[in-house]
Amino acid sequence: FLFFLFAPTLVYRRHYPRTTCIHWGAVVTRLLEGIGVVYYTYLVFRWVLPQFDRLSVFSDYTSFFAARVGAMGPGMALMFLGHYLILHTWQNMFAELTRFADRRFYEDWWNARTWEVFYRKWNGVVHEFIKEYAYLDLHELGGLTRTQAMGVAFFISAVIHEWIISFVFGGFYPILLLLFGGPGMLFIVLTRRMRARVWSVFLWLMLG
């Protein structure tokens, strides 16, 4: 159990796959990457915060829309930086320090053509947690269909994310919960059976 507290996973097992030794060169590399990502995040925030400060003084929708479009690039940059920092740099560094061998913290979400695949590949750590402790229990023990179990598990995931954000920032502003429960669920239904490459373009546009 003590190992579980430090291992980069949210799913408890009696035994985990382990590597034979710690590669300290990889640890230092991940640490330097983390410092670099934090610095770049600081630079992006310095550029984008004035954009949001001006949102409260716009008197027409045109100016508001222009500022919204102008913030799309930095917003996506922050999303990528945050993903890289947490799910690549941080997780791999702790995996190396604890000799944790299962390092599939994310998959090729950038190639996803449906939102269901995107949510599954974006964050493997949280996906496995929700799957093991919510989805499978709801489906196998609760008697819900796969679609119903997925919907309930998706809602639970949204609530957990919102609770974490509210705790960190000290306030409740349920924009993430609304995005998960509204457009998030709608896009899953709309793109579930879509396999054409154009839907990958649609996904990236919606992320922006």
| Distance from C-alpha of 59 to C-alpha of 120, rounded to nearest angstrom | 40
> pLDDT at position 197, please?
75
pLDDT of residue 56: 59
Dihedral angle of Cα 44, 46, 49, 50, to the nearest 10 degrees: -130
> Within 13 Å and on the Cβ side, how many CA atoms surround 102?
12
- Report which of 127, 118, 139, 140 is spatially closest to residue 207, judged by C-alpha positions: 118
Name which residue leads in pLDDT, 25 or 193: 25
45-69 residue pLDDT tens: 887 777 666 665 655 677 667 767 7
- The C-alpha atoms of residue 35 and residue 37 are separated, in whole angstroms, by 6
pTM of structure: 0.80
Catalytic residue selected from 88, 127, 139, 161 = 161
Going by pLDDT thresholds of 50, 70 and 90, the confidence category of residue 205 is confident
88 given a catalytic annotation? no
pLDDT tens, 95-134?
A: 999 999 988 899 988 888 888 888 888 888 888 988 888 8
pLDDT value of residue 54: 63
Confidence of residue 38 (pLDDT cuts 50, 70, 90): very high
Average pLDDT score, the chain: 83
